[in-house]
A and B are shown apart, each in its own frame.
Chain A
Amino acid sequence: METISSGIWFYIVKKLAMVFPVWLGISAAAFLLGVVSPSDPAVLLLSMDGISTPGAQEIAAKRHELGLDRSYILQYLTWLGQVLQGNLGISYITRQPVLDELLLRLPVTVMLAGSSLLLVMLTGIPLGVLMAWKKNTGGDFLLRAAALAGTSLPSFWLSVVLIWIFAENLQLLPSSGYGTIPHIILPAITLAAGATGALMRLQRATLLEVLEQNYIFAAKAKGLPPSRIIWRHGLPNALIPVVTLLGNYFGSVLGGSAVIEAIYSLPGLGSYVLEAIRGRDYPVIQGYVLFTGCIFVAFNLLVDLAYLRLNPRIRLGGK
């Protein structure tokens, strides 16, 4: 028992040690983004009101103020030094510390990602199981069509339709904003639709594969009821790819819900970085990439640990 526990810790420490070079890579990539992307932040800042047309001297002064006139290496090292001290820099546009701004918006995105993940799990897994159980019946075909539609429909289209039905016509749910549970329902459904479809199909396929295993036949031969066979013996063994998908999904939602956040006016990380990209607010973009990259890495680690719980056959550290 003690060996297993120390094995887990060794596994976690090993994974964390691998995370640091990944983070360094992410930070370099985040910084490079600012270097290779077109346009000069100083010009954009000075003309962000859409009225001012800065002269060369003003631009040079602003570049100096922002530290953009230094070499790229120096800029990167300065930024990295700040990051290591927990300082992601100051936003060019709002002049607020980037970390504060990210932390302010994180709960919104976590709420959205969590809600949609819950929705995906509550609908995707049971419906996938049903599809597998009712393989090649009318219900299965119907659900497969629904899953295909869920994965194929663009989220912006779905959001427009949902807003039209539930906000404009039925007036049951708010079209936009943040603050109460109803505000999250439509964005969560929109965000969950694609992943639910994918999860249903994946769950069906993996469960069907598991249901062909000998131990399932043995369970059937013992006379166990079908529901028990699925929930106790089939499903747990068909969950590993599903957990992988859910883990990646949560990470990607944290980093990629920008369009949904913009449409539903949710003040989350995605809409924040969209504005930063438009304004070439490099400290924000770099901070965001680093921040979400870290979250993604952390989630992958959690998924790896979940594997251990779900399938004890997976050996720690390849033992």
Chain B
Amino acid sequence: MRKSKEGYRGTKHLWLKAVCLLLLCGLGAFFAGCSSRQEQTPGTDREIVLAAARDLTPGSKDPYYTSLILKVWEPLVEVGEDGRPAPKLAKEWEHSGDYKTWTFKLAEGVTFHDGTPFNAMAVVKNFERYRIISPRTSTFYLFDINKIYPQLRRVEALDEYTVRLTFGHPFPNLPYSMTNFSSPMFSPACFDPVTGDFGGTVAGTGPFKLTSHAARQYTLLERNEAYYGSKAMAKTIRIRNIPVSETRYSALKAGEIMGVLDIGSLTPALTSELIKDKQFDVAANRSTITHYLFCNGEQGPLSDSRLRQAISLLVNREVLVRNFFHGYAIATNNFLNGTSPYSRPVNPERNVAAAKHLAKDVLQSQTSEIIFLVPQYGIDRYPYKEIAEFIQAELKELGLNARITVMDWAAIQDARAAGRFDLILGTQGLPSLEPALLFRNYMKSTGSANVQYRLGYKNQEADRLLAELDSASEATEREKIYDRLQVIAREDPPCIPLFDDMNLAVYNKKLENYQPLLYGVTLDKVRWRQ
């Protein structure tokens, strides 16, 4: 009896010890959590925390150090609200009659964040850096001076605020080519003149200074009090890197971040879900990204352009946009993204009967098995799985039995290079406002995308027009060519456009002036709601 009593006491003691230990751990976690949580409560100069899916500051080896959307650095020429080139650090420009010489007048009284004056010599030094680093890869835009400024012969400082670029070939659309990421200006003191790499941190001319950066964690921005234009509204902004979109959603709901920005900021489904909560709002703007179906034009049934045309006529783009993108996309059958000033979109025609007729001609009432590849990034950022399944069901009507395979992008590139595909759902961004490169890549018989992606596209008229484009020096002449190329791409598509993406700025209503731009958001205007 005595023994069992002891046993009981011992057991009770053991339980008590364990429970106390667990309680202590729990309480420790609880108080630690409560005490250090950073609340995002309004206050005029209080830090604003936003988040992006990727680290927007790749650092010293990147051609740009940090993304344009953080407004730390500025280009010579930016994209205006009308989608055309607009002055930024270059206030005005003029060209010679043969479009071989361009003269740029620079903004005066501008200084870089490190105090170095912005002038013609700074521009020349930046162009020297362009030559050194080209081609330099980046998660933003690959920088290659030979593509952005083809046949650039000389860059000269004519006086303190005038720069002249001389080309070996007429370049009528130079301002279109040099927008945003194509003409970044950094203080010559912040990069190595031999390697082109940045030294400590970046010094631009923008409304924000980059004060600190922790790789894959955050970038801290501080208002540039010496900014030559309208100063930024917010004193400090922290851009956190939260790669998973569901976590960004949770961070918004928890009040840890006040908004999201950059590509794939929040999926359309999560955006729709979030704005059911009255604390949040969303603003949308056009984006330079278009979603396409890329076809294997070298082999298989889709090598027949009539079948590609049939798919384009069959796909119900309105349903894709409404049901899967929750309205945050613009249905299109135009090859050129709608943000380009040269884009000539027409309402996408859906004609099931014509599509079936074309497919019947090609397939002779037989069915064909096709491989439909879907990239993983499209599932992370967009509702690609649902879209692919919807298209798969639609293709059956044409006699095409699609087998969907989800792969990571690298594996898709490999399958594409080997020709092991029929259809790929994917995106293509607009490289610059000058669409010549995009047309050449996709529609020229020897175009890099045409060859690499096995589009097998061959259109004699397109080849002829693209050859004419090389010598077309008048802007109107080029515009006509672009117009015609878009018509050709609709009739004989190199790939099938589905819809243009939209840039979504999802934010907590504690902020104001948080609006999406063509690229990025109005970071310099955003502030706590008064």
Contacts and interface: CB of A to CB of B under 8 A. Distances in A.
Is the A/B pair a real complex? yes
B506 to A, nearest CB: 15
Given A39-B413, A133-B11, A175-B247, A53 B453 contact: yes
Contacts of A174: 33, 37-38, 251, 254, 256
Contact of B410 (A44, A119, A262): A44
Nearest to B453: A53
A218 interface: no
B61 A227 contact: no
Nearest to A130: B18
Given A44-B413, A230-B14, A177 B137 contact: no
Contacts, number: 192
Contacts of A265: 217, 240-244, 247
Contact of B36 (A44, A134, A180): A180
B58, B414, B427 pick with most chain A CB within 10 angstroms: B414
A149 interface: no
Interface string A159-172: 01001101110011
Interface stretch (B81-89, B105-113, B138-146, B314-322): B138-146
A38 B10 contact: no
B3 interface: yes
Contacts of A172: 30, 33-34, 37
Interface in A112-151: 119, 122-123, 126-127, 129-130, 133-134
B345 interface: no
A50, A122, A267 pick with most chain B CB within 10 angstroms: A50
B246 A160 contact: yes
A262 B244 contact: yes
A225 interface: yes
Interface in A282-312: none
Contact of B141 (A51, A119, A185): A51
A119 B22 CA distance: 10
Interface string B56-68: 0011010000000
A120 to B, nearest CB: 12
B410 A279 contact: yes
Contacts of B214: 267
B137 A48 contact: yes
A167 B244 contact: no
B461 to A, nearest CB: 22
Interface stretch (A1-9, A54-62, A204-212, A243-251): A54-62
B351 interface: no
Contacts of B138: 48-49
21 contacts: A43-B413, A46-B137, A51-B141, A52-B431, A53-B453, A54-B448, A94-B58, A94-B59, A105-B216, A127-B18, A129-B14, A160-B246, A166-B33, A168-B254, A174-B37, A174-B38, A176-B240, A265-B217, A265-B244, A267-B215, A277-B408
Interface of A: 37-40, 43-56, 58, 93-96, 104-105, 119, 122-123, 126-127, 129-130, 133-134, 160, 163-164, 166-168, 171-182, 185, 223, 225-228, 230, 262-265, 267, 271-272, 277-280
